[in-house]
Amino acid sequence: MTRYDFPQDLRDAQLALHRTQSEYEQYAKALPWSAEPMAGWEGDKQLHSGYRTSKPDSPGYTEEQHQQVAAYRARLLELGTQVMTHPFWETLKGSDLFAARMQLKHVPDEDEAAAQQCRSGAEELESPG
């Protein structure tokens, strides 16, 4: 498999995109299920089961929550645009372009794995043997 030498600013933008997406997803888990106030509901009984889907009443988002969601979405759009329109992509064509974009998505994983390996190697050197 070809290894691409991504520019550091592209790597940094991709890492920021991953982190921001993760932060947004964590934030969204704590939000009410509806952005606007909405009455709860209970669905019909499921066939061959007593299970009924339901949602409690939603108070909707507070103004602060609306602003935070908008800020996350704006940052995600900014970072996504920065990654997708980076000049590095103009150096590739066809399947190489596709392969490089897929590889870039895993660069943060590789960086974290390398950092973890360095940390564990340093711990082995420090521990008395």
Which has more confidence, 33 or 110?
Answer: 33
Counts of helices then strands in the chain (DSSP H, E): 4, 2
Model confidence at 80, pLDDT cuts 50, 70, 90, reads very high
pLDDT for the residue 61: 97
CB 45 within 8 A of CB 51: yes
Task: List for the chain the helix, strand, coil content (%; round to 5).
Answer: 60, 10, 30
pLDDT for the residue 107: 81
For the four alpha carbons of 46, 51, 55 and 56, in that order, the dihedral sign comes to positive
Distance CA 110, CA 116 (A): 10
pLDDT for the residue 118: 55
Average model confidence (pLDDT) for the chain?
Answer: 88
Q: What is the pTM of this model?
A: 0.76
Which has more confidence, 36 or 50?
Answer: 36
pLDDT for the residue 47: 82
